[in-house]
A and B are shown apart, each in its own frame.
Chain A
Amino acid sequence: MTDSSGPRSFALHVRDLGFRVGGADILSEIDLEIEEGSFLGIIGPNGAGKTTFLNLMSGLIAPTSGTVEFFGRDLARVSSSGRARLGIGRTFQTSSLFNSLSVLENARLSAQARLGGNMKLWRRPRASDEATTAAESALEEVGLTSVAHQTTAALSHGDKRKLELAILLAARAKVLLLDEPMAGVNTEDVPRLTELIGRLHSEGRTVLMVEHHMAVVVGLAQKVAVLDFGRLLACGTPQEVMANESVQAAYLGEPL
């Protein structure tokens, strides 16, 4: 079953996933097959369980039923830091950056996590070391090289979102879990950020993105999953999903 060389090995394979708190089902009976290199948009009304779903993928919380496999490997016993090291990286709705560190240091911390083993106590991270190189090229990819040595607290909101993506790049994440990357971003920054996320996807990464901004979802996602009251209401191409009647009912009053 867990043969990773099998032909049907998905980047993420979610089966009958459920999360219960007390007597309430936050998520139930979620089945999703996410192919490597695909882009899945996740939409749904507030409280539908979108962030909970990302939390279950990144291991922040454990499911009360069902399984998640990452390239055929069962993740049940893999901690959130273990999943990060396997290549599942995520961003958060509220900024998760370290404000007291410099922009470069934020990216380097993430590269350090990946390179874990050779953390000599007193070795100074030199300009030439692997973690710094990885951090610098990640910053270059998202266009933050010019502010590398600034304090992160001083960045604009849009640049903070870019830095979050750079952190995932420095970690060499294969699967990007993005939780509302456009939240709080200026309208004029949205196209640039959209273009950046699209580029990261086209370079071969698998992306799961929770986003309210429908134009962004439709522009980027190959498939869209709709969550409503903790259930998977529909999953298909953006056009299929938007034509779906139960989706329209769930979104009644909200423009699609």
Chain B
Amino acid sequence: MNIFLVLTFSGVALGAIYFLAASGLSLIYGLMDVLNFAHGLFMTLGAYAGYEIATRLPSSLGAPTLVILAIIGATVVGALAAGVTELILIRPLYGKPISQILITIGLDLAGVGLLMGGFGSTALQIPVPLWLIEPTHIGGLYLPNASFLAIGAGVLVLIGLEMFLALTRYGIIIRAGVENREMVRALGIDVGRAFTLVFVIGGAMAGLAGILYTIVFSGDLVSPNQGDSLLIFAFIVVVIGGLGSIRGSAVAALAVGLLQQYTSFYIGGHSGWAQIGDLSTVLLLAVVLEWRPRGLFGRVA
């Protein structure tokens, strides 16, 4: 029972990171029909930005301050990278979806290559404060502190995004645009600004997901391909949740994170078949698509 609860806790933490990675992807696709393969690069860039901040700044600032600055820096770098990408590469190609997909794939490959050239392909260690590595003892369970960080970030972003979409002017434009972009344009609204904004928000969450994945699940290691392997699960979450739906992404991310943790322990742990966790998420995707081709919260076209 204890193991089950610990697995559930870390499944929720993994789900929180999948949500951060997927919600931006989902909003970008929902509003702009852009399948953004460079999202993995934004995550990796966020992690490397965090690494640079945590290692370059004087250690006299103290480990807790450094890790907070690293998380903020990762978010900002992800946002900036996404904003520049939208303005320079995506914007001239609206109406050419194949070109947009190809250019984001190209950017991802080139970016990862450049990171390998600059930082080497071996994983780098981010220094984190001890309390992030230690577990908290609650009711007979030892729960890793880093997971609390991931869950907290996921919940805050979910609430923040929902409030932004529900209450602000741009939120209304984005929700309307996800439903029918051409109609928003016909009303006389410049949808282009909303596009840039959605890309920036998505990039910020990608950067945050990148650094949190490093801290919570990869033993504080940063590597050039980490974003792309995370991106696969993000896409699975987006499709299960329904393209364009934030709530759908949240539910699907939880389901995928939990399933992955359970199967890799209960099946993979006993059989030694470690990949069963990853495989189970693909099976879940297949089952959901069979049952609801538009995903759990997908809009009806």
By a beta-carbon cutoff of 8 Å, the part of chain A in contact with chain B is 58, 60, 80-85, 90, 96, 98-101, 105-106, 108-110, 112-114, 116, 119-125, 131, 167, 171
Interface pairs (19), CB distance under 8 Å: A60-B186, A81-B185, A81-B188, A81-B190, A84-B188, A85-B188, A90-B186, A98-B179, A100-B179, A109-B189, A110-B187, A110-B188, A112-B172, A112-B173, A116-B190, A121-B168, A121-B197, A123-B169, A125-B169
Write the chain B residue with the least CB distance to A112: B169
**Residue in A96, A99, A100, A131 whose Cβ sees the most chain B Cβ within 10 Å:** A100
Q: How long is the Cα–Cα vector from A106 to B189 in the complex, in angstroms?
A: 13
Q: How long is the Cα–Cα vector from A172 to B213 in the complex, in angstroms?
A: 50
Contact between B180 and A98 (Cβ–Cβ < 8 Å)? yes
Contact between A113 and B187 (Cβ–Cβ < 8 Å)? yes
Write the chain A residue with the least CB distance to B244: A100
Q: A58-B186, A119-B169, A125-B172 are in contact. List 19 more A-B contacts (CB 8 A).
A: A81-B188, A81-B190, A82-B188, A84-B188, A90-B186, A96-B183, A98-B176, A98-B183, A106-B176, A109-B172, A109-B184, A110-B187, A112-B172, A114-B188, A121-B170, A121-B197, A122-B168, A123-B168, A125-B167
- Whether B294 is near chain A, meaning CB under 8 Å from some CB there, is no
**Would you give the shortest CB distance from A154 to chain B, in whole angstroms?**
15
Contact between B186 and A108 (Cβ–Cβ < 8 Å)? no
In the complex, which residues of chain A have a beta carbon less than 8 angstroms from the beta carbon of B167? 124-125
Write the chain B residue with the least CB distance to A59: B186
In the complex, which residues of chain A have a beta carbon less than 8 angstroms from the beta carbon of B183? 96, 98
Q: How long is the Cα–Cα vector from A217 to B299 in the complex, in angstroms?
A: 37
Write the chain B residue with the least CB distance to A129: B169
Contact between A99 and B179 (Cβ–Cβ < 8 Å)? yes
Q: Which of B137-189 contact A (CB under 8 A)?
A: 167-170, 172-173, 175-176, 178-180, 183-189
Q: Which 4 A-B pairs have the closest CB atoms?
A: A84-B188, A113-B188, A85-B188, A113-B189
Q: How long is the Cα–Cα vector from A144 to B179 in the complex, in angstroms?
A: 22
Contact between A80 and B169 (Cβ–Cβ < 8 Å)? no
**Residue in B179, B185, B187, B190 whose Cβ sees the most chain A Cβ within 10 Å:** B187
In the complex, which residues of chain B have a beta carbon less than 8 angstroms from the beta carbon of A99? 179
**Would you give the shortest CB distance from B179 to chain A, in whole angstroms?**
5
Q: Which of B185-199 contact A (CB under 8 A)?
A: 185-190, 197
Contact between A109 and B186 (Cβ–Cβ < 8 Å)? no
Q: Tell me the interface secondary structure of chain B in the complex.
A: helix
By a beta-carbon cutoff of 8 Å, the part of chain B in contact with chain A is 167-170, 172-173, 175-176, 178-180, 183-190, 197, 299
Q: How many A-B residue pairs have CB under 8 A?
A: 76
Write the chain A residue with the least CB distance to B300: A99
In the complex, which residues of chain B have a beta carbon less than 8 angstroms from the beta carbon of A124? 167-168
Q: How long is the Cα–Cα vector from A83 to B188 in the complex, in angstroms?
A: 7
**Would you give the shortest CB distance from B235 to chain A, in whole angstroms?**
23
In the complex, which residues of chain A have a beta carbon less than 8 angstroms from the beta carbon of B186? 58, 60, 80-81, 84, 90, 96
Write the chain A residue with the least CB distance to B191: A81
Contact between B189 and A112 (Cβ–Cβ < 8 Å)? yes
**Would you give the shortest CB distance from A174 to chain B, in whole angstroms?**
13
Contact between A100 and B175 (Cβ–Cβ < 8 Å)? yes
In the complex, which residues of chain A have a beta carbon less than 8 angstroms from the beta carbon of B180? 96, 98
**Would you give the shortest CB distance from A78 to chain B, in whole angstroms?**
11
In the complex, which residues of chain A have a beta carbon less than 8 angstroms from the beta carbon of B176? 98, 101, 105-106, 109
Contact between A109 and B168 (Cβ–Cβ < 8 Å)? no
Write the chain A residue with the least CB distance to B163: A124
Contact between B185 and A80 (Cβ–Cβ < 8 Å)? yes
Contact between A105 and B172 (Cβ–Cβ < 8 Å)? yes
